[in-house]
Structure 1
Amino acid sequence: MERCSWANGARLLLHLFAAINLAKAVYHDYRYAQLPELAVTLRLEPPLWGMFKYITFLGGLLQSGYYALALTHDLWRLPSLRNLRDYILATFVVPLALTASLTFWSLYAIDRNAIYPGLLDSIYPGWLNHVLHSYIAVYALIEFVSTRHRYPDRSRGFVGLAAFMAGYLVWNYYFWFRTAIWVYPFLGGTDWYIQVLYFALIIVVAFVYYLVGEHVNRVLWVKTTGDMVAKKVALLSLVTF
C-alpha cells in the first residue's frame, strides 16, 4: 500500500510539474517570443495567425492540455477520463513529441541557421527552446515508465494521427497560398519535390513513433514479465542521465 501511495504521489507531481512547465512555456511563447514587425516586412514570416502557425506552439498547447487532463484523472479517477487520456497520449502526445523533438534537433545539427538562426537566441530564451523541443520528449518517456496506459485499437489511433498530420499539411499550404511565404523559411529555398519529400517523411516518421510508443508501452507493462520493474528503472535511468 505504501509503495502504491508513493507511486501515485510521484505520478501526480510529474503531471502537475509538466502541466505547469508546458503551460508557462506556451504562454511565454505566445506573449513574449515575438519576431519584430520587420520580419513580416521582409517577408520572413507570414503575417497571419501569429504563433498558431507553428507546430511547436500547437504541440505545446496539446502537451500541456494532456498533462492537465492526466492530473485531473489522478485526482478523480473517472473511467471516461482515463480512456480519453490514453487515447490522446497514444495518438498525439508521443508521436508529436518525438517528431517535433527529433526532427528539430536533427535539422539543428545539420544546419542550425536553416531551422534556428542565432538571432533567435535573443527572442527565444534557451529554457523555452528546450521545454518545447526537448522536455516534451523527456516527459513522454517518463510518463511511459510511471503510468500504465491502454493503447486504443491501432485503426482508431491511426485515424486520429492521420487527421492531425493532414491538418498540419493543409495548414502549411494555406499560409503559402495566402502569402507565398513558407511558415518554415528553409522550405522556400528548396525544389517542390524536396518539399513533398520533407512533408512525407515527417508524416511517415510520426506513424513510426506511434508504433514505437505502442511497443514500449507493451514491453513496460506486460503482465507476465517478471523483470518489469527492472526494465522501468533502466529506462528511467537512461532518460534522467
Structure 2
Amino acid sequence: MAALGIVLHLGFLAWSVFAVWQNFEVTGSRLNHGAHSYGGRWKYLTFLNQVLQTAFFGVCLLCDLLQLCLSTRNRLCSVLTRLKDCIFAVLAFPVGVFVFTSFWSLYFYDRELVYPKDLDSIIPHWLNHAMHTAILPLVLIELLACSHHYPSKKNGFAVLLVFSIAYLSWVQWVHFAADIWVYPILAKLDAVGMLVFFASSFFVILAFYCLGEWLTRLRWGSGRPSKKRRKKKSN
C-alpha cells in the first residue's frame, strides 16, 4: 500500500510542480499579464491553490517514504500524517473544488467576469485546464485512494475562516494599494454586492469541506475512533 501511495503521490507531485513551473514560464514571458502587476501571481487564488496542492502532495510523498522506511508509530510519521490529513481536509479538497467550481461556473456564465478572452493569447488552453480543471480529478483520486482523518468541524471551520479572511483581506489590500481588482467581477459589484459575493463564497467553500468529509466517510467509514476504542487502546 505504501509503494502504491509513493507512485501515486510522486506522479501527482511531478504534475503539480510542472504546472506551477509552466505558470511561471508562460505568464512571465508576457508583460501584459496580471502576474507583472502589484502582488504578482500571489494575488490569484488559482495560483495559491496550485502551490497549496504542490505542497500537499509533497507532504504526502514524504509520509509515504517515511512509512516505508520507518514504523507508522514513529513520532515523525505520526506528526506528518496528521499534518497531511489536516491539509487535505481543511484546504486541499475544499479550496481545490472551489477553484474548479467557481471558475467554470463564472466562465460559462460570462467569461469576462473571471477570465477575459484576451488571456487566450497569453495562456494556452492546456495550461488553463491544468490550473482550473485537473485539480478536481486529482483531489477525488486522492480521496478515493488514501484515507484521511478529518478534524472536528469546529477546528476545520475555524481554519477555513482564517484562510478565507486572510485571502479576502489580501484582495482588498491589492485594490487599496494598486487600485486594481484581482478579478473583473469585483469591479462590477458595489459594497453590498461584494459582501454578498464574499459571504456566499465562504459558505460554498464550507459546503465543499462537508462534502469532502461525507465522501471520506462514505469511502472509508468513520475516520475518528470512538471514545471507547481510544480507552481500550490506552489500557
TM-score between both structures, scaled by the size of structure 2: 0.85
User: Would you say how many aligned residue pairs link Structure 1 and Structure 2?
Assistant: 213
Given the superposition, is the C-alpha separation of residues 186 and 97 from structure 1 closer, same or farther in structure 2, using an over 3 Å criterion?
same
Task: Please tell me whether residue 32 in structure 1 is matched to residue 30 in structure 2.
Answer: no
Deviation at 1:23, TM superposition (A): 1.2
Q: Following TM superposition, by how much is the alpha carbon of 1:139 offset from its aligned partner in structure 2, in angstroms?
A: 0.7
Equivalent position of 2:3 in the other structure: 9
Render the CA deviation track for 1:114-140: whole Å, top value 9, x for unaligned: 221222122112222112211111111
Q: Which residue does the alignment assign to 2:199?
A: 200
Deviation at 1:158, TM superposition (A): 1.4
**Superimposed CA distance per residue, residues 155-182 of structure 1 (whole angstroms, 9 cap, x where no aligned partner):** 2211111111010110010011112211
Q: Which amino acid aligns with 2:150?
A: Y
Letter in 1 for 2:40: G
**How far is 1:8 from its partner?**
3.6
Match of 1:99 in 2: 98
Q: Does 1:57 align with 2:56?
A: no
Give the % identical residues.
33
Task: Name the residue aligned to 1:127.
Answer: 126
Shift of 1:36: 4.3
Please tell me whether the aligned partners of residues 18 and 139 of structure 1 are also in contact (alpha carbons under 8 angstroms): yes
CA shift digits 1:207-233 (9 cap, x unpaired): 11111111111111117xxxxxxxxxx
Please give the root-mean-square deviation of Cα atoms over the aligned residues, in Å: 1.8
Contact map agreement 1:22 1:132 (CA 8 A) in 2:
no
The equivalences for 1:82-121 within 5 A come to: 82-121=81-120
The 10-residue stretch of structure 1 (147-156 or 96-105) with the greater mean CA deviation from structure 2: 147-156
1:150 to 1:38, Cα distance in 2 relative to 1, 3 A:
closer
Aligned to 1:230: none
CA deviation vs aligned residue, 1:5-55 (integer Å, no higher than 9, x gap) = xx4433322211111111111122123314844567xxxx88312101111
Q: 1:27 to 1:163 in 2, by over 3 A?
A: same
Give the structure 1 partner of residue 217 of structure 2: 218
Give the equivalent residue in structure 1 for 2:73: none
1:48 is aligned to: 38
When residues 46 and 162 of structure 1 are mapped into structure 2, their CA distance, relative to the original with a 3 A threshold, is: farther
Amino acid at match of 1:21: W
Tell me the equivalent position of 1:81: 80
Q: What is the SS of the residue equivalent to 1:190?
A: coil
Q: Distance in 1 between matches of 2:166 and 2:127?
A: 25
SS in 2 for 1:18: helix
Taking a change above 3 Å as real, the CA distance of residues 35 and 205 of structure 1, as seen in their structure-2 partners, is farther
Say if 1:105 and 1:38 are closer, same or farther in 2 by CA, change over 3 A.
closer
For 2:16, the equivalent position in structure 1 comes to 22
Q: Distance in 1 between matches of 2:53 and 2:100?
A: 13
Could you tell me the TM-score, scaled by structure 1's length? 0.83
